[in-house]
Amino acid sequence: MEYRKLGNTDLELSAITYGAFAIGGNMWGGNEQKDSIASVQASIENGITTLDTAPFYGFGLSEKMIGEAIKGYDRTKIQLLTKFGLVWDGSNNGKGEFFFDAEENGKAIPVYKYASKASVIKEVEESLKRLQTDYIDLLQIHWPDATTSISETMEALEILIQQGKIRAAGVSNYSVDQVEEARKTLNIASNQVGYSMLNRGIENDLVPFAQQNDLGIIVYSPMERGLLTGKYFAEGKLKENDHRNGYFQQFDLEKVKNFLNAITPIATEKGATLSQLVLRWTSLQPAISIVLAGSRNADQAAANAKAIDINISTDEMNFINSELAKI
């Protein structure tokens, strides 16, 4: 495994990081908790020491499973990344920015973006309990909250750093302008954003900004929620309540299928899967600090970790990029 320094911090994170959205269950057609915990532990055993989660994932379930999974491991050798700012339990008292209605057991649950100073500090205490730890390595706002000033949110993070409850602070889904605004109050370490072979918008602005300003970039959805594994084209069926039924429709699926067919021989020649090739390609892109990869069982977790060992030559990288240009 490769370990990389995150932005302006002394955090050394695994280049492939465990993404814990799917193990929360909600929006992913449910989950098997035993398998999920096993996937976290298999990740650690294979060198993935960095685990990224959030309170919203399963309404606390993902954080709780991470807390259970890391029992027995040396906490100082594991980096816990979590978030705040999506409130679903009514504690915002109607404040904040309505985001969307989530679903649990057939019931609609309104979710708000809310990141007031008091709310941030409250959320962190709850996350610490669920994770069964006394500090978080990197705390990130989940989505921008238009109803709270960025400076107020950053002031809360500064307090938490001073208290030793978090080692570093970052943001998620922030524009470059929002990052610059945040850094007027606190020198944040990173921005977590969506990025993949099919979604390269950050290369226009965030990547050059990060390179010039020592900002870490953490990327999620490198596999486009499983589309780039190729399994969807082979199997083509998802559970009815799986959000990806709608999500995949934003892409030209025929072009994506042709692209995957074109690069499959590269993976095959290396004894790798498409997933591993895609993860490695993503990890090698300029300014990318770490890449989040989800897994729902131990085998998937081990395979994700091994992606970092793949060597992609200059000619192979050029070929992959030329095929991407056709999508």
List the domains of the chain with CATH numbers.
3-226+276-310 (3.20.20.100)
Q: What integer is the mean pLDDT of 191-208?
A: 97
111 CB-near residues (< 8 Å, 6+ apart): 56, 86, 87, 88, 98, 99, 100, 101, 102
Structure tokens at 225: 């929620």
Could you please report the per-residue DSSP string of 10-69? --EEESEEEE-SGGG-TTBT---HHHHHHHHHHHHHTT--EEE--TTTTTTHHHHHHHHH
Return the axis-axis angle of helices 253-269 and 314-324, rounded to nearest 10°.
170
Q: What percent of the chain has pLDDT over 70?
A: 96
pLDDT in tens, 58-91: 999 999 999 999 999 999 999 999 999 999 988 9
146 CB-near residues (< 8 Å, 6+ apart): 97, 113
pLDDT in tens, 128-175: 999 999 999 999 999 999 999 999 999 999 999 999 999 999 999 999
Give, in order, the Cα–Cα distances in Å from 220 to each of 60, 71, 127, 275, 282: 19, 26, 21, 14, 10
Q: Which residues pair with 80 in a beta bridge?
A: 51
Contact call for residues 308 and 16 (beta carbons, < 8 A)? yes
pLDDT at position 31 = 54
Question: E-strand spans in the chain?
Answer: 3-5, 12-14, 16-19, 50-52, 79-84, 86-87, 97-104, 107-113, 136-141, 166-172, 190-194, 216-220, 288-293
User: Is 150 strand, coil or helix?
Assistant: helix
pLDDT at position 28 = 42
CA atoms of 191 and 218, how far apart (whole Å): 6
- CA proximity to 54, closest of 21, 25, 15: 21
What spatial distance separates the first Cα and last Cα of the chain, rounded to whole Å? 31
Residue 231 banded pLDDT, cuts 50, 70, 90: confident
CB environment 56-92: b (16+ within 10 A), e (fewer): bbbbbbbbbbbbbbbeeeeeeebbbbbbbbbbbeeeb
Among the options 3, 18, 57, 73, which is catalytic?
57
* Known active-site residue 57: yes
pLDDT at position 246 = 82
pLDDT in tens, 272-300: 999 999 999 999 999 999 999 998 899 99
User: Is 182 strand, coil or helix?
Assistant: helix
CA atoms of 250 and 94, how far apart (whole Å): 32
Q: Is the pLDDT of residue 96 over 50?
A: yes
CA atoms of 293 and 290, how far apart (whole Å): 10
Q: State the alpha helices, DSSP H only, in 132-228.
A: 150-163, 176-182, 206-213
CA atoms of 147 and 262, how far apart (whole Å): 46
Q: Is the pLDDT of residue 22 over 90?
A: no
Strands 216-220 and 107-113: unpaired
